[in-house]
């Protein structure tokens, strides 16, 4: 009687391994994509928060918000990034301002604002997300803050 030495893997073993990897990839890839999108929201949150501090400094120096958001001031509008553009809309007047972050590319559809009273608003979430309310910046797909 001859003894057969086994070498390598059988086709069934390889197919089972491929199936397991495919199932894991189907779960992990969408979760990772949402994680990346959530991290992109922090870009807008950070820029708007920084802009608010600059606007308050401008107000302390000039006793008015009018003229802020212009180049060569303490509070210039943040430059556009890969995911957001920023604007003071409408233009600041003596006592009020609103800074808007509008999503582009992967964050299309998203719009966040902050004003002189530090009211942070999610005007619209990224495409496919829900809005939890207009008093927070949405940080999760399900709309929770």
pLDDT tens digits, one per residue of 67-123: 888 888 888 999 999 999 999 988 888 899 999 999 998 888 888 999 999 888 888
Length of the chain equals 145
Confidence of residue 134 (pLDDT cuts 50, 70, 90): low
Averaged over 49-68, what is the pLDDT?
92
Contact predicate 75/51, CB 8 Å: yes
Query: What is the predicted pLDDT for the residue at 99?
Result: 94
- Chain-centroid distance, C-alpha 66: 29
- Residue whose C-alpha is closest to residue 121's, from 45, 43, 37: 45
Task: Please determine, for residue 132, whether its predicted confidence score (pLDDT) is greater than 60.
Answer: no
Confidence of residue 41 (pLDDT cuts 50, 70, 90): confident
Task: Please determine, for residue 47, whether its predicted confidence score (pLDDT) is greater than 70.
Answer: yes
Query: What is the predicted pLDDT for the residue at 89?
Result: 85
Query: What is the predicted pLDDT for the residue at 119?
Result: 87
Query: What is the predicted pLDDT for the residue at 39?
Result: 83
Confidence of residue 144 (pLDDT cuts 50, 70, 90): low
Residues with Cβ within 8 Å of 29's Cβ and at least 6 positions away in sequence, in order, are none
pTM score > 0.85 for this model?
Answer: no
- Chain-centroid distance, C-alpha 73: 27
Helix runs in the chain, H state only: 11-62
Q: How many CB atoms lie within 10 A of CB 14?
A: 11
């Amino acid at each position: 009687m001859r003894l057969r030495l086994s070498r390598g893997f059988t086709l069934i073993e390889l197919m089972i391994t491929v199936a397991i990897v495919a199932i894991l990839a189907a779960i992990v890839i969408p979760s990772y994509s949402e994680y990346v999108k959530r991290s992109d929201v922090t870009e807008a949150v950070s820029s708007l928060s920084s802009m608010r501090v600059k606007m308050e400094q401008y107000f302390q120096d000039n006793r008015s918000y009018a003229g802020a958001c212009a180049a060569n001031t303490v509070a210039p509008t943040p430059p556009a990034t890969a995911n957001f553009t920023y604007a003071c809309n409408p233009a600041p007047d003596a006592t009020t301002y609103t800074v808007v972050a509008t999503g582009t590319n992967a964050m299309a559809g998203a719009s966040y604002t902050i004003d002189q009273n530090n009211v942070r608003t999610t005007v619209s979430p990224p495409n496919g997300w829900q809005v939890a309310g207009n008093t927070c910046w949405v940080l999760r797909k399900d709309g929770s803050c």
